[in-house]
Amino acid sequence: MSLWKRTLKLGLLGGLIAVYIALTGMPLSLSRRAVIGEFTLGHLTYLIVFAAFGYLRAAQMRKEKQASAPAILAHAAVTGLLSGLLLALLVLLGQRVDLGFIFISAKPQLYRLLTFQQANLTTGLVYLVAAGTVLGLLFALPHFLPKTFHKAVLSAVAITLVLGVFSELVQRTILKYALGSFFAYQGLKPMGALWLFVITFALSWVYFALRPYIQVQDKRSQQVLGNQPSPETRLLFTLALLAFLLVMPIVILQKDTYLLSVINLVGLYIIMGLGLNIVVGFAGLLDLGYVAFFAIGAYTVALLTSRGELGRGWDFWAALPLAILFALTAGVLLGIPVLRMRGDYLAIVTLGFGEIIRILANSDWLKPWMGGALGVLEIPKPTLFGYTLKEEYQLYYLILAGILITWLVAHRLYHSRLGRAWQAMREDEDVAEGTGIHLVTTKLLAFGFGAAFSGLSGAIFATKVGSVYPYSFNLLISINVLCLIIVGGMGSLPGVVVGAFALVGLPELLREFSEYRMLFYGVALIAMMLLRPEGFIPKKPTIYPRLLVRGASPVRAEGSKSKQ
């Protein structure tokens, strides 16, 4: 009986989550984005819960090996049914009582959506509960397939849904020549979805079936090379990646303005993330006012290059170094008063500094020089060898260059003496000082480098957007950058890129979603802390034999040890 008890528990939990999602209003506000035919992202938000809980229940029972296959299917179906029932109860309750009082999203439209727009309420409710049951059952089925099929089914479902949701990713890129016919104006055509599922299933199956063989080879090379790819592999990989990044906007993205503007925004966040990563990830100084340096970089370029009344009409390339320099100076200057502060105190003070900069820019007092709330307009685009970088795909290269430079600088810094000093300071300030680290300069250099990166990002932002306003530099940017570092993995450079795409890119592609951005961040952060507290791509400990006795590389030494 305890089996049924757990099914009940899980089903009700799923129901509660579905009810919660419904009451946040997500099903309604996302119902305008078609995924497959009439099936919208709104439906997906709660139907996926039924599927997930059916899948989970089956996974639990398979693992415990207590029940027969039909029993497992029954339990999974009941889990889905219970979840559906709870959501149906919400609809019923909503018919009697006006929940809109407390939950503003609990509107008749929501109930109509949940009951699949059926005129007859009972029919709709039956459909809803049936959907839960069927999905719960359906997603228990993969557990009875061989492992490769199981994985292939799941990834095919995921890929199909993701491409359905982000149909722009196909329709606006080179993929449209291959897959365009599967798609309607928005989302997938039902038949297209089916085909896409079949194709992705076949491809994933091949991938999962072949993977063991590929991995065996990997393992062998790992033994020879001692866990690290050989320098040749690395170089080849780097060159391939660079080539990809260079041709991507033109070949793959077809110079699409919308997608490239999203990527460029992500790129600006990557530069900022790389900078804040120095301050927070390397040196362990929690800085919440990071947007201030972004603002300083942006305003410097704006005021120096603008063709308007406030500007001086400089060239972008002349203003850029100054923007970086000003940001760096501001970083160091802010660092001085907070030298003795640690942890939360530091966070609060830097938070204040970020706000001060924004409020100053917004103030009437500085209006004659900085434009106040009206901002600075007419910022020209940069020119390079006679070309004006005005299209998004041209600016892409400017941002890419910025990322590559900051990446290289951050990478070199991390492995330098200074980088080591930052990390030691992050671990224990007193002890670090005891080993001879000059805390003042070490801290100020962290603030300075971080701020300089942010200034660079801000400078590019100003010329990309063409105008700057104080409200572009609110606290949210600092929070965004901090979150993307945490999600990506503190101190990890690839983590910054992943974090930026996940936390800035995704919500940007799903504009209707922006209302729920904070909810998404919260969920993402909690999930990360529970599942991968080190972040998506945790910083690996650096292993290198720099000081070991020459001639005896640790790789060889270890290899010989294992033979003994």
Partner 1 sequence: MAMLELHNVHAYYGHIHALKGISLTVEKGEIVTLIGANGAGKTSTLRVITMLLPPTEGQVRFEGEDLTQYPTHVIVRKGIAMVPEGRGIFARLTVMENLEMGAYTRTDKKAIEEDLERVFTLFPRLKERRRQLAGTLSGGEQQMLAIGRALMARPRLLLMDEPSMGLAPILVESIFETIQQINRQGTTILLVEQNAHMALQIAHRGYVLRTGEIVLQGTAQELQANEMVQKTYLGMA
**Chain residues that interact with partner 1, rule: CB under 8 A:** 417, 420-421, 423-424, 426-428, 430-439, 541-543, 546-549, 554
Question: In the complex with partner 1, which residue's Cβ is closer, 168 or 534?
Answer: 534
Q: In the complex, what is the shortest distance from the CB of residue 545 to partner 1, in angstroms, rounded to a whole number?
A: 8
* 487-516 burial code (b ≥16 CB/10 A, e <16): bbbbbbbebbbbbbbbbbbbbbbbeebeeb
- Residue identified by tokens 């922006």 is 514
- Find out whether 274 and 410 touch, Cβ atoms under 8 Å: yes
Nearest to 156, CA basis, from 208, 197, 203: 197
**C-beta of 224 vs 549, nearer to partner 1:** 549
Min. distance of Cβ 543 from partner 1 in angstroms? Answer: 5
329, 337, 316: which is closest to 449 by C-alpha?
329
Locate 253 and state its tokens.
Answer: 């993205």
Residue 364, CA distances (Å) to 88, 254, 399 in order: 55, 44, 33
Q: Which of 332, 532, 338, 541 is nearest to 441 (CA)?
A: 332
- Of 317, 342, 281, the C-alpha closest to 493 is 281
Beta bridge partners of 183: 188
Q: 511 vs 556, which CB is nearer to partner 1? A: 556
Angle at 234 between CA 228 and CA 239, to 5 degrees: 165
Q: Nearer to partner 1 by C-beta: 432 or 459?
A: 432
Compare residues 64 and 428 and give the one whose CB is closer to partner 1: 428
Residue given tokens 């080591």 in the structure block: 420
CB of 304 to partner 1, least distance (A): 39
Closest separation in Å from C-beta 530 to partner 1: 20
Minimal distance, residue 540 CB to partner 1, in Å: 10
384 beta partners: 387
CB of 546 to partner 1, least distance (A): 8
Nearer to partner 1 (CB atom), residue 102 or residue 547: 547
Residue closer to partner 1 by CB (options 391, 428) is 428
- Closest separation in Å from C-beta 160 to partner 1: 41
To partner 1, the closest distance from the beta carbon of 433 in angstroms equals 4
Are 286 and 348 in contact, with CB atoms under 8 Å apart?
no
Round to whole Å and give the CA distance between 486 and 492.
Answer: 10
Nearer Cβ to partner 1, position 546 or 563?
546
Overall residue count recorded for the chain in this entry: 564
Residue 350 and residue 354: Cα distance in Å, rounded?
6
The answer to whether 383 touches 252, Cβ cutoff 8 Å, is: no
Smaller CB separation from partner 1, 272 or 437: 437
> Closest distance between partner 1 and the C-beta of residue 335, in Å?
17
What DSSP letter does each residue of 500-562 carry, written as one string? Answer: HIIIIIHHHHSGGGGGGHHHHHHHHHHHHHHH-TT-SSPPPPP---TTSPTT--HHHHHHHHH
Closer CB to partner 1, residue 223 or residue 542? 542
Neighbour tally for 560: CB within 10 Å: 10
Closest separation between CB of residue 421 and partner 1, Å?
Answer: 7
